[in-house]
């Protein structure tokens, strides 16, 4: 069952094991919470992705009635949401894949057969120079000349060698197995032998992987690429058995030769099956040791994030991305960049944690009140000339800005013919916005900002008090607001607006993305509309002078060039 109830040890245990609830299931849960009981309730949400305002209020009431009751969440975003509302909830951490005390990588070994050449070149080209030794092996017919070493020299700062027998092993060096010889490593030297073929292959992936695992143990990282047959499966098992880490390329990334990785996927316990971008990112991170990732390494990581989760952070400022990644590493309690990036790319819970950390949702009711006063006194009265007023709040976060605009429109008599489109990339934060519930500790600041913004009534008139440590926005203010997901990075125009509000979001984008966003705003703004940016921004971000002109000096409200020129011509 998705909802189960057990009474034992003097407690009523209610367990919810589903990502989303149907109306019937939510009704059942609400009834359980409302049923009088002399026992405290222990409520556990294992997989639930979202919680409605009605359920939040029922949980708050149950907690208020019985102090010993407790709610446990396994989802970080739900935990942070209810905690922001002042509810005594607890987070249960999932099992981590990576030990915080994992040793650094000292050796990287890449192996493959058919379909692997371009994968090897892709990995090596993106591998930053670090204190590691790299071994590369690809099945090549013995009567063919292998020029892989020559190709790799053009793509990497590493020294690239096709070694001779008993050559000393050095860090910062790539050793390419020559055709017709099995390559091994032991006691700090490379050994080449003409012993019999193994699994019909010489050089043998199995033999090299096994030798590297014995030499380097837990400090080895193996990457098994495409190929036919099964040479490499046993060697991959040795890497894992010796405590090393093993990545198996996702079969979907092998155009035809999938047999090797499919068999390894079935037989190698403890390996990670990953797309090429993820394998490249983890190999690059392992090679750099404990150093914070540089911009190039960050690009690799966020390309992998995009492949795994679909979140596109290309063209965001690298220093911001690096800071948020480091905050996530510390929050997850992981000791190294490799451990953190592996956890994020292989554990959806950690991936969600990073996404929430990267989503900019610093907001409040009537934040930057001087700008709201400008809206009240000049911009919104000007928009009164439109029969219908459509407003886009881009990057709306948890909704306070959209509801603040609704209050202004209500006080100016414009709300009934207005529609506010509030968008954000973060689906979790949008759900919070739709619920319209906010912690009571925000109330004092909200009242002060409302007064500073020129409010003509009382902020409390727009709120509904709850018997809980939070309040709700009045339902009348929610009728004309649509919250939905939209990415300024990937999505295009979706309407024409008389007012676009995007405050202090452009500062997190680089010039390329700022240019794109300004073009998007130009295509989305009515000819006589107004663009309002944040106090830390202006139209020089993204070369907005191409499209917009300040309405008045020293302000962050802008009109389109076409309107300014039309006014000058009158």
Would you state the pLDDT for residue 433?
96
Tell me which residue of 509, 502, 521 sits closest to 560, measured CA to CA.
521
* Choice between 94 and 125, residue whose per-residue pLDDT is larger: 125
Confidence (pLDDT) at 97 = 44
Averaged pLDDT for residues 34-43: 85
Average pLDDT over residues 365-369: 96
Which pLDDT does position 539 carry in this prediction? 86
User: 563 or 528: which carries more pLDDT confidence?
Assistant: 528
Average pLDDT over residues 78-100: 77
The mean pLDDT value for 235-243 works out to: 97
Task: Give the model's confidence band at 67: pLDDT under 50 very low, under 70 low, under 90 confident, else very high.
Answer: confident
Region 95-105: what's the mean pLDDT? 60
The burial of 377, by beta-carbon neighbours within 10 Å (0-12 exposed, 13-18 middle, 19 or more buried), is given as exposed
Contact status, residue 111 vs residue 223, Cβ threshold 8 Å: yes
Between 467 and 487, name the one with better pLDDT: 487
- For residue 418, the model assigns a pLDDT of 98
Q: Give the rounded percent of residues in the chain with a pLDDT score beyond 70.
A: 96
pLDDT level of residue 101 (50, 70, 90 thresholds): low
- Assign 478 a pLDDT band (cuts: 50, 70, 90): very high
Given a cut of 50, whether residue 568 has pLDDT beyond it is: no
Residue 563 has pLDDT above 80, yes or no: no
The pLDDT assigned to 483 comes to: 97
The pLDDT assigned to 295 comes to 84
Backbone region of residue 332 per phi and psi (left: phi > 0; alpha: psi in -120 to 50; beta: other values): alpha
How far is residue 131's CA from residue 279's CA, in Å, rounded to a whole number? 19
- Which range (125-129, 337-341, 449-453) has the least confidence? 337-341
Does residue 38 or residue 255 have the better pLDDT? 255
Can you name the residues that pair with 470 across neighbouring β-strands?
Answer: 439
pLDDT score for 398 = 94
pLDDT greater at residue 142 or residue 125: 125
Residue 246, pLDDT score: 97
Separation of alpha carbons 263 and 274, rounded Å: 15
Going from the C-alpha of 261 to that of each of 143, 224, 383, 567, the distances in angstroms are: 26, 7, 62, 67
* The Cα angle at residue 367 between residues 364 and 369, in degrees rounded to 5: 150
- pLDDT above 50 for 565: no
For residue range 533-562, list pLDDT tens digits in order. Answer: 998 888 888 889 999 999 877 779 999 985
What is the rounded average pLDDT for all residues in the chain? Answer: 91
Q: Residue 112: phi, psi to the nearest 5?
A: -170, 175
* pLDDT category of residue 315 using cuts at 50, 70 and 90: confident
Taking the C-alpha atoms of residue 522 and residue 517, their distance in angstroms, rounded to an integer, is 9
Q: Does 530 sit behind a cis peptide bond, omega within 30 degrees of 0 on the bond before it?
A: no
**Where does the pLDDT of residue 411 fall: very low under 50, low under 70, confident under 90, or very high at 90 and above?**
very high
Note the pLDDT tens digit of each residue in 319-342: 999 999 999 999 888 888 888 999
Q: Buried b vs exposed e over 101-124: b needs ≥16 C-beta within 10 Å? A: ebebbbbbbbbbbbbbbebbbbbb
Instruction: Tell me which of 24-38, 67-81, 90-104, 507-521 is least confident.
Output: 90-104
pLDDT, tens digit (0-9, with 9 covering 90-100), for 151-202: 999 999 999 999 999 999 999 999 999 999 999 999 999 999 998 887 778 8
In angstroms, the Cα distances linking 528 to 385, 499, 515, 548 are 10, 9, 21, 11
Q: From the DSSP assignment, how many helices (H) and strands (E) are in the chain?
A: 20, 25
Specify the pLDDT at position 562: 59
Average pLDDT over residues 39-58: 91
Least confident of 255-264, 330-339, 442-451: 330-339
């Amino acid at each position: 069952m998705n909802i189960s109830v057990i009474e034992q040890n003097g407690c009523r245990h209610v367990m919810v094991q589903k990502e989303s609830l149907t109306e019937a299931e939510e009704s059942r849960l609400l009834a359980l919470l409302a049923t009088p009981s002399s026992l405290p309730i222990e409520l556990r949400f294992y997989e639930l992705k979202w919680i409605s305002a009605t359920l939040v209020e029922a949980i708050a009431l149950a907690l208020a009635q019985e102090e010993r009751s407790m709610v446990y969440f396994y989802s970080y975003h739900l935990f942070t949401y209810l905690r922001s509302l002042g509810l005594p909830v607890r987070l249960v951490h999932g099992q981590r894949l990576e030990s915080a005390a994992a040793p650094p990588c000292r050796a990287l070994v890449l192996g493959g057969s058919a379909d692997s050449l371009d994968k090897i070149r892709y990995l090596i080209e993106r591998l930053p120079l670090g204190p590691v030794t790299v071994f590369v092996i690809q099945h090549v017919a013995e009567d063919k000349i292998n020029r892989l070493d020559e190709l790799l020299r053009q793509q990497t700062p590493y020294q690239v060698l096709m070694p001779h027998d008993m050559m000393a092993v050095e860090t910062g060096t790539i050793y390419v197995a020559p055709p017709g010889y099995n390559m091994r490593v032991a006691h700090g030297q490379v050994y080449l032998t003409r012993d019999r073929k193994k699994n019909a292959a010489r050089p043998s992936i199995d033999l090299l992987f096994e030798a590297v695992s014995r030499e380097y143990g837990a400090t080895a990282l193996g990457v098994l690429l495409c190929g036919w047959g099964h040479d490499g499966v046993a060697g991959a098992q040795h890497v894992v058995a010796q405590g090393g880490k093993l990545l198996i390329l996702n079969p979907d990334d092998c155009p035809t030769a999938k047999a090797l990785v499919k068999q390894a996927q079935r037989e190698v316990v403890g390996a990670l099956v990953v797309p090429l971008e993820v394998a490249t990112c983890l190999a690059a991170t392992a090679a750099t040791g404990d150093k914070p990732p540089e911009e190039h390494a960050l690009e690799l990581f966020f390309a992998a994030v995009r492949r795994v989760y679909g979140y596109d952070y290309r063209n965001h400022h690298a220093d911001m991305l690096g800071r948020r990644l480091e905050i996530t590493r510390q929050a997850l309690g992981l000791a190294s960049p490799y451990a953190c990036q592996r956890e994020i790319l292989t554990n959806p819970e950690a991936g969600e944690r990073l996404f929430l950390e990267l989503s900019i949702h610093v907001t409040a009711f009537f934040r930057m009140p001087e700008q709201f006063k400008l809206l009240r006194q000049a911009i919104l009265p000007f928009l009164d000339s439109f029969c219908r007023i459509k407003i886009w709040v881009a990057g709306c976060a948890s909704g306070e800005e959209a509801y603040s605009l609704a209050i202004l429109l209500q006080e100016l008599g414009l709300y009934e013919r207005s529609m506010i489109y509030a968008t954000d990339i973060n689906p979790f934060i949008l759900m919070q916005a739709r619920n319209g519930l906010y912690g009571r500790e925000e109330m004092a600041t909200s009242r002060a900002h409302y007064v500073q913004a020129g409010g003509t009534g009382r902020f409390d008139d727009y709120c509904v008090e709850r018997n809980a440590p939070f309040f709700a926005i009045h339902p009348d203010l929610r009728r004309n607001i649509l919250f939905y997901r939209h990415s300024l990075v990937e999505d295009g125009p979706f309407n024409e607006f008389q007012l676009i509000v995007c405050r202090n979001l452009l500062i997190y984008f680089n010039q390329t993305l700022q240019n794109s966003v300004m073009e998007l705003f130009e295509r989305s703004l009515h000819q006589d509309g107004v663009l309002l940016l944040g106090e830390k921004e202006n139209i020089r971000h993204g070369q907005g002078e191409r499209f917009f002109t300040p309405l008045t000096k020293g302000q962050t409200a802008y009109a389109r060039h076409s309107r300014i020129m039309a006014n000058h011509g009158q």
